[in-house]
Structure 1
Amino acid sequence: MAPGSMGTVFIGDPTAKLPDDLLVEVISRVPYKSTCCCKCVSTRWRDLISHPDHRDKLPRSTLAGFFHATSATEHHRHLSHGYLSVSGNWCRHDAALSFLPKYESLEILDCCNGLLLCRGRKSTDPKTLDYVVCNPATEKWVTVPATKWSWDMSSACLGFDPAVSSHFYVFELVPALAWNPIKRDDYSIEAVGIYSSKVGVWTHPIVLDDPIEILYLSGGAFLSGVLYLCSDNNSVAAIDLEGNCRIIPLPTPHDDPGGPNVYVSRGQLYLTIQGASELSFWVLEDSSSENCWTLKLNISYLRLFGIDYSSSEQFYGVISAHPEHNMIFITKGFRLWY
């Protein structure tokens, strides 16, 4: 090598002579995040990674995207469903869920670790409804019989942890309106019914010692056999599979109509609180102690979106956390950010 030389310089792509199968084999041995970066190397690498024949060989994220429902319009009486990919992976998900039985209407109520919980009303008998739990990736589904409370449910939640068991649980959150018609608060939960796919039956509604004032449009999170729900009194309600409920105070009061939300990521429960000018992120370290939350991050809306929340007419909302990575998904108006 001559003095001052930097070594051999390759002109063009040094992998150009590698056959496609061998190159795919090499790429398949790197982590998923690196696979995404490999798409930027060249158009050939991008096309190889995206090709249907190679998708099963390459690493994929467990989070492929989100199913969502669109609101009914004047011309379309029923809700329709869509699917939004966030990983860039090919996904054969049927956004319309057409593999399910035919229902007059079908609502997506909840999701948990790849399973969807839906509620369907039959066209042959509109007064009859079913819960349906399905896996869109395999297009397998089972029906869960409704209870006498199902018509009055403002929400129902799904619990499923494939690392622990192949069985799932459906939680019916019985509002005060159904339990006691004199009351008119749809979001005051006074009883909980739990269905176990292992035994195939519902437990009788378990009356809570103190009603839970759940937040409107606030989702739940299922972790280690416990369903976590955000309450309206600056706390998180934790309901186990026996119907026992304990209250976990929030680390700080929330002052936004969006309210707090809970999510599961990397085997821990996370909490987001929307303040007047920033989002805060907390992790549950020990639910048995008073100081059970640890602050992970504060971030301003100005830094996130380039505009202060108080001066924006659009709604910001954290909708989910990635199950494996340090990533959150936020809606601003009708746009998804992550």
Structure 2
Amino acid sequence: MERALMSDPMSMLTDDILVDIISRVPYKSTCCCKCVSTRWRDFLSHPDHRKKLPQPLAGFFYQGYNRDRFPKIARYFTNASGEGDPLVDPSLSFLPRYSSLEILDCCNGLLLCRCWKPTDPKTLDYVVCNPATEKWVVVPATEWSNKVSVARLGFEPAVSSHFHVFEFIDEKAWVTDESELNEWTGSLEAVATYSSKSGVWTNPIAVTTIVSIPTHSKGVFFNSIMHLAAFDDMVATFDVQGNLQSIIDTPDLPYDSPVNDVFVSRGQLYFTGITRSEFGPSMSVWVLEDYDFGEWTLKHTVSHFALFGTNYSACNYKVISFHPEHDMIFVVYGEENTLMSYDMDCKKRHIICQLGHDCQLEDISDEEKTPFLPYGPLYTESLADGT
């Protein structure tokens, strides 16, 4: 017995301890763990243990906007494979009945929703829910919530079962007397945060640096820091108390374009933009190699012709996500809003499906633009128990 333990110290660990360890590694590594032994394969496949393990990217929440329809905004979910029935019912019918509901953010299997109450069109709740388990909790609104354009969710299940909600209070929401707004620029005035552990909002933290965040800037939460792309070619980062931690300049690009989102994959921050090449305009992919000094390294370049074919010059497109564990990008492009993936390793694209004309990408107001929210299921039963 002693010899067996010395040759295989992992055999001393119980299944519960082992699955807790493996739940903290990336999904790709979890798949490799199944090849270690028959025991590992069996316990990782057991339904009770599988609930605790990281899940792959399953698909995307998005919305369509049609002026000639009621309601004008419709919500959808499409699988990342483009095949089969949607994994999630985008109506979120398990939630309490509200007059309207908007999905603001998705973070590691949880959704942040803004829900307007039927009793008063100016009052609302935030609701954080888990579509995989149909569990939800109400987060009370603040005095700024009905005016705030940008609210985001922070959640890292490998670190804590508790989540954080961030309210980014811009100048328009902050000032009570609109006559004081001589020239509104939309600059950020303060940040308030809510912790499910404390159950209360912090007092808003003033932002003294000029920062302006677009309505649909994608929130990236990792290492307990929220990252948001901002105007003027920069990324603003905030801690869970709402303090502005740093401003990271994004790479200088030769083309003027709308604010590009940042993404996280395998624990690193990525940025995409349009650059020039011998083949014409290209999409470039940058990775933040030195976080402290804000140094980006060019990781990959692909021409628009290789991505979109002969009509690339007239093609509107938007990068909507990076795969969390692979060098793969998801893009929506063209008149039919075609969803495709592009593998940077093998340099191949794959057409997934067409999302239709209702999706709006460019040249319209912020409230009509389509946010795309990547989603992977989380099978943990509770939203905020434990530490």
Q: Into which bin does the TM-score normalised by the smaller protein fall?
A: 0.7 to 0.9
Provide Cα deviations, 1:132-165, integer angstroms capped at 9, x if missing partner: 1111111111111111111111121111111111
What does residue 129 of structure 1 align with? 124
- Over 3 Å counting, the alpha-carbon distance change for 1:167 and 1:204 in structure 2 is same
Task: Please identify, of 250-259 and 115-124, the stretch whose mean Cα deviation from structure 2 is larger.
Answer: 250-259
SS of 1:178's equivalent in the other structure is helix
What does residue 265 of structure 2 align with? 265
1:175 aligns with one of 151, 170, 174: 170
- 1:118 corresponds to which letter in structure 2? C
Give the ranges of 4+ consecutive aligned residues of structure 1 lying more than 6 Å apart after TM superposition: none
1:219 aligns with 2:215: no
**Given that residues 123 and 146 in structure 2 are in contact (C-alpha distance below 8 angstroms), is that contact kept between their aligned partners in structure 1?**
no
- Over 3 Å counting, the alpha-carbon distance change for 1:186 and 1:331 in structure 2 is farther
- Over 3 Å counting, the alpha-carbon distance change for 1:257 and 1:251 in structure 2 is closer
- 2:297 corresponds to which letter in structure 1? T
Task: Indicate the structure whose relative CO is greater, using CA pairs within 8 Å and at least 6 residues apart.
Answer: 2
What does residue 302 of structure 2 align with? 299
- Over 3 Å counting, the alpha-carbon distance change for 1:141 and 1:274 in structure 2 is farther
What does residue 319 of structure 2 align with? 318
Map 1:57-76 → 2, pairs under 5 A? 62-71=56-65, 73-76=67-70
Task: Give distance in 2, aligned partners of 1:280 and 1:82.
Answer: 29
**Given that residues 66 and 72 in structure 2 are in contact (C-alpha distance below 8 angstroms), is that contact kept between their aligned partners in structure 1?**
yes
Task: Give distance in 2, aligned partners of 1:169 and 1:199.
Answer: 10
SS of 1:294's equivalent in the other structure is strand
SS of 2:211's equivalent in the other structure is strand
Provide Cα deviations, 1:108-127, integer angstroms capped at 9, x if missing partner: 11111111111011113323
Task: Give distance in 2, aligned partners of 1:254 and 1:98.
Answer: 46
Percent of pairs with identical residues = 49
2:78 aligns with one of 75, 84, 89: 84
Aligned residues: CA RMSD: 2.6
Task: Give distance in 1, aligned partners of 2:200 and 2:254.
Answer: 38
* TM-score, scaled relative to structure 2: 0.67
**Given that residues 154 and 186 in structure 1 are in contact (C-alpha distance below 8 angstroms), is that contact kept between their aligned partners in structure 2?**
no
**Given that residues 258 and 317 in structure 1 are in contact (C-alpha distance below 8 angstroms), is that contact kept between their aligned partners in structure 2?**
no
- 2:107 corresponds to which letter in structure 1? C
What does residue 328 of structure 1 align with? 329
Task: Give distance in 1, aligned partners of 2:63 and 2:198.
Answer: 31
What does residue 250 of structure 2 align with? 250
What does residue 340 of structure 2 align with? 337
Provide Cα deviations, 1:172-193, integer angstroms capped at 9, x if missing partner: 1101111233335464212111
Task: Give distance in 1, aligned partners of 2:97 and 2:194.
Answer: 23
* Structure 1 segments unaligned to the other structure (5+ residues): 1-29, 33-55
How many pairs are equivalent?
A: 283
1:259 CA displacement:
2.7
Task: Give distance in 1, aligned partners of 2:54 and 2:202.
Answer: 38
SS of 2:269's equivalent in the other structure is strand
Task: Give distance in 2, aligned partners of 1:253 and 1:216.
Answer: 22
Provide Cα deviations, 1:5-45, integer angstroms capped at 9, x if missing partner: xxxxxxxxxxxxxxxxxxxxxxxxx959xxxxxxxxxxxxx
**Given that residues 192 and 241 in structure 2 are in contact (C-alpha distance below 8 angstroms), is that contact kept between their aligned partners in structure 1?**
no
Task: Give distance in 1, aligned partners of 2:104 and 2:31.
Answer: 33
Larger Rg: 1
Task: Give distance in 1, aligned partners of 2:153 and 2:235.
Answer: 17
- 1:289 corresponds to which letter in structure 2? F
- Over 3 Å counting, the alpha-carbon distance change for 1:159 and 1:92 in structure 2 is same
Task: Give distance in 1, aligned partners of 2:129 and 2:220.
Answer: 18
1:61 CA displacement:
5.2
What does residue 161 of structure 2 align with? 166
Task: Please identify, of 153-162 and 182-191, the stretch whose mean Cα deviation from structure 2 is larger.
Answer: 182-191
**Given that residues 149 and 215 in structure 2 are in contact (C-alpha distance below 8 angstroms), is that contact kept between their aligned partners in structure 1?**
no
**Given that residues 112 and 158 in structure 1 are in contact (C-alpha distance below 8 angstroms), is that contact kept between their aligned partners in structure 2?**
yes
